[in-house]
Amino acid sequence: MSYIVSSLLAFIGLSLGANQRSLQQATPGQPGVPFIPQIPAIPQGNPLERLCVLDYTDPASCAGKAEIIMNPGDYFQMDCAARGACAQSTTTFQYDTSSASLYIDAVVFSEEYAGYGATIVVENTRPGNQVVLNKLECKAPGACQGLTIILKNADLNELDCSDPNFCSACFIKENLVDPPKPCFGW
């Protein structure tokens, strides 16, 4: 019996010892161990669109939120395409010296009250080159009501508001010194 117990204890001891091995870490240049260099992070491209397609009553909508979009690429388009989708929101397009983009293609408010009381800021901190918002569209009743557009070292090329009811109380501030200009008739 003692032979069985001592054999069993020896077997358990060998098993435990095998599990307590220490692992060796490979180092570059160690013989027999391949070296794999670190892969640099792939830079994310500049965003080209922002789609706000949920009604303002949906908590996941863009309504009532503040968002900064850094260095959006040329051809960037923002669509607020549901009732109140971007209402009471603040969207800031920021351009810094790392951006080569020259314009935002369009910001579109296509449904009723899609941009109600919203603020759009185009802020360019690069010296020399202005960023151009090519087109701002107000396509439905109240779509741009109470909208404020602030341009800092930026310009607005075209504002499409075919009916005063689409953009009432909508104003554009070209700088912080001059008085704001109404959107209708821009």
pLDDT by residue (tens digit) across 36-45?
555 443 344 5
Higher pLDDT, 102 or 20: 102
Asked if pLDDT for residue 97 goes beyond 60, the answer is yes
Mean pLDDT of the chain: 83
Q: Residue 26: is its pLDDT beyond 50?
A: no
| pTM of this structure | 0.74
Single-letter code of the amino acid located at 111: E
Query: What tokens were used for 60?
Result: 């996941």
Write the CB contacts of 14 (distance below 8 Å, at least 6 apart in sequence).
Answer: none
Max CA pair span of the chain: 105
Sheet holding 181-182, edge to edge: 66-70, 90-95, 119-124, 148-152, 171-173, 181-182
Is the pLDDT reported for residue 11 higher than 70?
no
Q: How far apart are CA 182 and CA 186, in angstroms?
A: 7
Task: Check pLDDT > 90 for residue 35.
Answer: no
144 by DSSP, 3-state: which?
coil
Closest CA to 70 of 45, 93, 97: 93
Q: How far is CA 67 from CA 40, 63, 70, 90, 92, in A?
A: 28, 11, 10, 6, 6
